[in-house]
C-alpha cells in the first residue's frame, strides 16, 4: 500500500486509541503506549467499501502484468487525435445540415400557410359573391354523342322557361301548357308535376284563359319556387313538396320576368305594366314598386346586393335600380328593343335585343364596352335574328346566347371584360327560349320549341319541343382570380 493510504487512516487509529485510554499523564502515556503495542495489538479492521475502490499508482503499475490485471483495450480510432481542420470541417457540415433541415421545415410550413390562406380567401369571396373565375378559356368543346333530350307529353307545346335547383340535381321546366315538371337530372325522368291552372285566376278580370308558364325562378335555399303563369299574378310553390303556397296580385299587366335576390327571400318581378315590384316571401307580402321604364319591362336579374337590373323593351334602355338609395342608373346602347339582360358580376352585365346584338357593359359606363352585332345572323328578308335567350355562369367570363338560327353560341368575356370572343357553336333546331348553366359551367340546359315564347307568328315544324342537356368538355387547367366590386 502507498504512503498516502497510511497518512489517510493513521489519524483515525490514533484517535481511537486515545479514546480507549486509561491513566492520563506523561508517564501513563508512555506506559500504555508500550503495552498496547506489545500485548494488545490492534484488531484488524474490515476494509471499508470506499477503501477497496482506492488503488495506488504502484498497484496499477505492478498489476498490469499480473494474472488479475484488468483487461484494458485501446482502439486505434480513439488513439488518433482529431486535427483542428477536421474538427472545423465536421462542425461546418453539421451546421449546414441543421440549416437545411430548418429551411425545409420553414418552406413546408409556409406552403401549408399559403394553401390555407388562399382557400379561406377563396371561400370568403365566393360567399359574398366577389370571386372571379376565368373558365371560358378552358372549354375545349362539347360532347356531341351524349346530348340528352328530355321530352314529356304534358309539355307537348314549346318550352318557355327553365329553373335549376341550387345543388344542380333538379330542373323545373315551364311551357305553353298549364303544367310545370320537376326533372330528376340523375335519372333524366320526371319526379313530379303540378297544374298551375286552378291558381291562375286574375283578381281584376273574370276572363278565363290558358296558362302559359313564361318565367320560373328558385330561391337559393331551395325553399320557394316562383312562376309567372302568363297573367297578372305570381304563384309561389314549394319545390320540394310541389305544394301551392301563395298567389301574389298587384301587377296590372302580364308578368314577364322573375328573379330572387341571392341568399334571400326577396322576389323581384317585371311586367308589361312598365313597373318593377318587390315581394317579401318571409312575410308573403308586397313591399314596393319601382317606376321609370317607358315601355314593357322584358327582363330582370339580380345578385346578392339590393339592386336589380332590367331591360326596357322598346324604350331601348337598361336600368340598375338602387333600392336602398331609391335611385336608378340608365344605360343606352341598343338600336332596337332589348329582350334580355344578365348580371355577370357586381360590375359587369350583358344584354341582348331584337337587333341581333349582344352588349357587354360596365356599371360605371353609360355606353357598352363592346357590342357584338348580328351575332346570330340574319333572316331571309335581311332582318337580324333576335336574341331570345342569354345566360352566364355568375362571377365568371362564360356566356351563352340563343336565337332561332340553329345554333347556341358560347362566348368569352376577354380582355378583362372588354370584349366578347366567340368560343364555339352548338347546333340546335328551333327557338331557344331559355338557357341555364349549372354552377361550375360544365352543363348547359336549353329549352327549345317550335315557336317563340311570346307568340305564334313564326313556327318551325321540323323542331322538337324538348329540353337539351349539353355536357361541355373542359381542360384540367383553370385560372382563378379574385377581386372586389366597386359599383357606385
Residue 242 CA, distance from chain mean position: 30
Q: Residue 481 and residue 208: Cα distance in Å, rounded?
A: 53
Looking at residue 219, which CATH number applies to its domain? 2.130.10.10
Q: Residue 398 and residue 479: Cα distance in Å, rounded?
A: 13
In a domain, 191, yes or no: yes
Nearest CA to 181 out of 201, 156, 199, 200 is that of: 156
In a domain, 87, yes or no: no
Dihedral pair phi/psi, residue 414, rounded to 5°? -90, 175
User: In b/e form, how buried is each residue of 288-316, taking b as 16+ CB within 10 angstroms?
Assistant: eebebbebbbbbbbbbbbebbbbbbbebb
How confident is the model at residue 5, as a pLDDT? 41
pTM: 0.74
Give DSSP secondary structure letters for 353-377.
ETTS-EEEEETT-SS-SEEE-STT-
How confident is the model at residue 50, as a pLDDT? 45
Q: What is the pLDDT along the chain (488 residues), one digit of tens a residue?
A: 444 444 444 444 444 444 444 444 444 444 444 444 444 454 444 444 444 444 444 444 444 444 444 445 444 454 467 888 888 898 999 999 998 888 888 888 778 877 777 777 777 776 666 778 899 999 999 999 989 999 999 999 999 999 999 999 999 999 999 999 999 999 999 999 999 988 776 555 545 667 889 999 999 999 999 999 999 999 999 999 999 999 999 999 999 999 999 999 999 999 999 999 999 999 999 999 999 999 999 999 999 999 999 999 999 999 999 999 999 999 998 989 999 999 999 999 999 999 999 999 999 999 999 999 999 999 888 899 999 999 999 999 999 999 999 999 999 999 989 999 999 999 999 999 999 999 889 999 999 999 999 888 889 989 999 999 999 998 875 555 545 444 43
In a domain, 370, yes or no: yes
Residue 223 CA, distance from chain mean position: 22
In a domain, 217, yes or no: yes
Q: How many residues are present in the chain? A: 488
In a domain, 229, yes or no: yes
Q: Residue 57 and residue 487: Cα distance in Å, rounded?
A: 97
Nearest CA to 256 out of 340, 357, 163 is that of: 340
Distances (CA, A) of 227 to 119, 133, 178, 298, 351: 37, 31, 11, 15, 22
Contacts of 441 (CB under 8 A, 6+ apart): 135, 139, 393, 396, 398, 472, 474
Q: Residue 403 and residue 411: Cα distance in Å, rounded?
A: 14
The SS3 of residue 432 is strand
In a domain, 99, yes or no: no
Nearest CA to 433 out of 159, 218, 151, 164 is that of: 159
Q: How many separate domains does the chain show? A: 1
Q: Residue 225 and residue 267: Cα distance in Å, rounded?
A: 10
Distances (CA, A) of 308 to 136, 149, 175, 224, 277: 26, 33, 26, 19, 11
Q: Which domain holds residue 157?
A: 136-455+462-474
Amino acid at each position: 500500500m502507498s504512503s498516502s493510504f497510511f497518512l489517510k487512516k493513521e489519524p483515525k487509529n490514533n484517535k481511537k486509541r486515545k479514546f480507549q485510554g486509561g491513566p492520563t499523564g506523561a508517564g501513563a502515556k508512555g506506559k500504555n503506549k508500550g503495552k498496547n503495542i506489545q500485548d494488545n495489538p490492534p484488531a484488524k479492521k474490515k476494509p471499508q467499501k470506499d477503501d477497496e475502490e482506492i488503488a495506488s499508482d504502484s498497484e496499477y503499475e505492478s498489476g498490469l502484468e499480473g494474472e488479475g490485471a484488468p483487461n484494458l483495450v485501446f482502439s486505434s480510432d480513439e488513439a488518433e487525435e482529431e486535427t483542428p481542420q477536421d474538427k472545423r470541417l465536421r462542425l461546418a457540415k453539421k451546421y449546414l445540415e441543421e440549416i437545411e433541415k430548418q429551411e425545409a421545415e420553414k418552406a413546408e410550413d409556409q406552403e401549408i400557410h399559403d394553401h390555407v390562406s388562399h382557400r379561406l380567401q377563396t371561400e370568403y369571396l365566393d360567399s359574398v359573391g366577389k370571386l372571379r373565375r376565368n373558365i371560358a378559356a378552358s372549354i375545349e368543346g362539347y360532347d356531341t354523342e351524349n346530348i340528352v333530350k328530355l321530352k314529356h307529353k304534358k309539355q307537348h307545346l314549346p318550352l318557355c322557361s327553365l329553373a335549376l335547383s341550387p345543388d344542380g340535381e333538379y330542373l323545373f321546366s315551364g311551357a305553353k301548357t298549364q303544367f310545370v315538371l320537376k326533372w330528376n337530372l340523375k335519372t333524366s325522368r320526371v319526379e313530379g308535376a303540378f297544374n298551375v291552372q286552378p291558381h291562375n285566376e286574375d283578381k281584376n278580370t273574370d276572363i278565363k284563359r290558358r296558362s302559359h308558364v313564361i318565367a320560373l325562378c328558385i330561391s337559393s335555399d331551395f325553399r320557394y319556387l316562383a312562376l309567372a303563369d302568363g297573367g297578372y299574378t305570381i304563384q309561389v310553390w314549394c319545390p320540394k313538396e310541389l305544394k301551392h303556397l301563395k298567389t301574389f296580385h298587384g301587377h296590372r299587366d302580364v308578368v314577364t320576368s322573375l328573379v330572387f335576390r341571392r341568399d334571400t327571400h326577396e322576389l323581384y318581378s317585371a311586367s308589361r305594366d312598365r313597373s318593377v315590384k318587390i315581394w317579401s316571401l318571409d312575410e308573403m307580402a308586397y313591399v314596393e314598386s319601382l317606376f321609370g321604364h317607358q315601355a314593357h319591362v322584358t327582363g330582370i336579374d339580380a345578385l346578392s346586393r339590393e339592386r336589380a337590373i332590367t331591360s326596357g323593351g322598346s324604350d331601348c334602355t337598361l336600368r340598375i335600380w338602387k333600392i336602398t338609395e331609391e335611385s336608378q342608373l340608365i344605360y343606352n346602347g341598343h338600336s332596337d328593343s332589348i329582350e334580355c339582360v344578365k348580371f355577370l358580376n357586381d360590375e359587369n352585365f350583358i344584354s341582348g335585343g331584337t337587333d341581333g346584338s349582344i352588349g357587354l357593359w360596365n356599371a360605371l359606363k353609360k355606353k357598352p364596352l363592346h357590342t357584338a352585332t348580328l351575332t346570330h345572323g340574319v333572316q331571309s328578308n335581311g332582318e337580324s335574328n333576335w336574341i331570345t335567350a342569354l345566360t352566364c355562369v355568375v362571377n365568371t367570363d362564360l356566356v351563352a346566347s340563343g336565337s332561332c338560327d340553329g345554333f347556341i353560341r358560347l362566348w368569352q368575356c376577354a380582355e378583362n371584360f372588354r370584349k366578347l370572343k366567340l368560343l364555339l357553336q352548338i347546333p340546335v333546331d328551333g327557338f331557344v327560349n331559355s338557357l341555364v348553366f349549372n354552377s361550375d359551367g360544365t352543363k348547359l340546359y336549353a329549352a327549345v320549341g317550335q315557336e317563340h315564347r311570346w307568340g305564334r307568328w313564326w313556327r318551325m315544324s321540323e323542331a322538337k319541343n324538348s329540353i337539351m342537356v349539353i355536357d361541355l368538355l373542359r381542360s384540367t387547367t383553370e385560372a382563378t382570380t379574385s377581386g372586389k366590386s366597386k359599383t357606385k
